[in-house]
Chains A and B, each alone.
Chain A
Amino acid sequence: KNEVEQSPQNLTAQEGEFITINCSYSVGISALHWLQQHPGGGIVSLFMLSSGKKKHGRLIATINIQEKHSSLHITASHPRDSAVYICAVHHYGGSQGNLIFGKGTKLSVKP
């Protein structure tokens, strides 16, 4: 069983829709990261969370430590949001620099 599970694997939305991507993990963590990867592109950090909620523009990330679950929300989605969204956790007690990654959620936003 993967230690970090994302759902859905693929998601297609219409422009303007509210989108939610979920991440569940099975290990104790110090931090959870949400990353974005555009087609053929590099990987960019969106959020780092250890508790609560963070917001940046139309993106909102939440985490529930007790339930070992995080969500990434996109409000008023736009075609430029089309990308793969990756959840990664820093395992509590693991080597300081290393993350465990989910397999990603591929989002396609249609105009």
Chain B
Amino acid sequence: NAGVTQTPKFQVLKTGQSMTLQCAQDMNHEYMSWYRQDPGMGLRLIHYSVGAGITDQGEVPNGYNVSRSTTEDFPLRLLSAAPSQTSVYFCASSYGGIYEQFFGPGTRLTVL
């Protein structure tokens, strides 16, 4: 099993550009989440999904879009990148909050 995979590992964008961060898991997990990690802030939830076709907003959803057309994939779209979105992004999956959490390797995004 590959676990949770994320691409790309690194990305530099200019302000106003759009892009999609990819996340996939092969463990048949229903729950998938996107977090951002900023210095001194801890991990903050952006969007999450409890199954294919179902998504909802987390703590910091502005400027991001998600969709979940399959159980395996949960892409995160930045609509119009801003310097405030410079961060490390982690995708995670699990069977639920009371089960082991699996994290992807992260994507380090810089917006100039």
Interface size class, chain A = 20 to 34
CB distance from B12 to the nearest CB of A (A): 17
Compute how far the CA of A15 lies from the CA of B93 in the bound complex, rounded to whole angstroms. Answer: 34
Interface size on B, residues (CB 8 A): 30
Contact between A97 and B94 (Cβ–Cβ < 8 Å)?
Answer: yes
Q: Which of B45, B49, B103 contacts A42 (CB 8 A)?
A: B103
Known: A45-B103, A103-B41. 20 other contacts (CB 8 A): A30-B97, A31-B97, A33-B101, A35-B101, A35-B103, A42-B106, A43-B92, A45-B100, A45-B102, A48-B100, A50-B98, A88-B101, A95-B97, A96-B31, A96-B50, A97-B50, A98-B33, A98-B48, A102-B42, A104-B42
Question: A: which residues have CB within 8 A of B?
Answer: 30-31, 33, 35, 41-45, 48, 50, 86, 88, 90-91, 94-99, 101-104
